[in-house]
Amino acid sequence: MKAKLTLFAIFILLTGYLAAQSSVQIKDILVSPVMEVDTITNQTTPVDMSHPFLTDTTNSQISLNETYQVLFKIGGLEHASVIHLKIGTEQNLGNILDTQVQIIVIDNSYFVSYGGNNEEIIGDNVKIYLNLTEQEKEDFQFLTLNVEDNQGSLSNPLIFVK
């Protein structure tokens, strides 16, 4: 009888643990500056502004800003709904940028939707562009990223350390 109760308790604990897990997994984060080089004048300039950007600044001069590309892989994309992205001076702190990016479906293809534009998710590779001012770039130490599934559960966090 004791063995049956023990097995039942273990079953209940495992069931609760598995139910609390997100159906979305993320891995392999990479954050890198994106620059274009003008081969005629040999000057480096920010990336083409036709890309959608996440930024919390308004009316800032683009020449002083730096564009970053955030890349990561996602498993269980069909269950994903929102990407939570925090940039801060400490881990899990969004004191520089704290935003959410929607994951949408258009004609059976998945996209991240932000800045008024949609960026297609190719395979399991997600790409988001960030535009930070000079001060934000200097202060930025950590990027924390989670993905929320359709049930409201968060994936494992990915943490990039500058």
What is the SS3 string spanning 84-138? EEEEECCCCCCCCEEEEEEEEEECCEEEEEECCEEEECECCEEEEEEEECHHHHH
Q: Is residue 8 in some structural domain?
A: no
Q: Is residue 18 in some structural domain?
A: no
DSSP symbol at 83: E
pTM score, whole prediction: 0.72
Taking a C-beta distance cutoff of 8 angstroms, is the pair 67, 47 a contact?
Answer: yes
Domain that holds residue 135: 23-161
pLDDT value, residue 10: 55
* DSSP count for the chain of H helices, then E strands: 2, 10
Q: Is residue 148 in some structural domain?
A: yes
pLDDT value, residue 110: 96
**Total domain count for the chain?**
1
pLDDT value, residue 18: 44
Q: Indicate which CATH number applies to the domain containing 80.
A: 2.60.40
Q: Under 8 Å CB-to-CB from 26, ≥6 apart: which residues?
A: 72, 73, 74, 75, 145, 146, 147, 155, 156, 158
Q: Is residue 15 in some structural domain?
A: no
Other CB atoms within 10 A of residue 68 CB: 21
Q: Is residue 130 in some structural domain?
A: yes
Taking a C-beta distance cutoff of 8 angstroms, is the pair 83, 130 a contact?
Answer: no
Q: What are the per-10-residue average pLDDT scores of the chain (162 residues)?
A: 55 48 87 74 54 48 73 95 96 94 95 91 94 91 95 94 92
pLDDT value, residue 46: 53
Taking a C-beta distance cutoff of 8 angstroms, is the pair 87, 130 a contact?
Answer: yes
